[in-house]
Amino acid sequence: MAGMYPPTSSQPPAQASTNYREAFQLYDKRGKGRVVRENLGNLLRACGQNPTLAEIADLERNVGTDFDFETFSKILNRPGGFREPMDIDDYTKAFRLFDKENTGFIGRGQVKYVLMNMGEKMSESEVEDLFRAADVHNDEVNYNDLVTTIWNN
């Protein structure tokens, strides 16, 4: 099945297709050749894709309560399905834009605003949990530590 693997992959198409079918079968909990909608995002990630939560929600609306391998193959091969995930350095560079004095720290309020309002929005409780795990002093966040914490979780 040509096209079933990322264009940058060195994996031959037959091997990629076999791996996708095996991943699908792992999520087919009832053994009926169908996977429940709620597992779509995890299954896509298991196959090397990096969908956003919004993309997953959109795809889930179109598959019904569950889906078969043929439907999954169409989803897997959708245009833009295989985007390269950002590198940890890309995240650090993004936060560095807010570090006007090049101290390695940015304001807690700025970080909270960015995490709750841009990209994949986080809830206030998720942001507060993140702050507890990261290096926060005097309402300043060490963004290198924050990115590492996010990356590791």
Domains recognised in the chain with CATH numbers: 20-77 (1.10.238.10), 88-152 (1.10.238.10)
User: What is the reported pTM?
Assistant: 0.51
Could you tell me the two tokens for 56? 């997953």
Handedness of CA 108, 132, 122, 143 (dihedral sign): positive
Tell me: the pLDDT tens digits for 103-139?
999 999 998 988 888 777 788 988 888 888 887 888 8
**pLDDT at residue 67 tops 70:** yes
Q: How far apart are CA 77 and CA 93, in angstroms?
A: 31
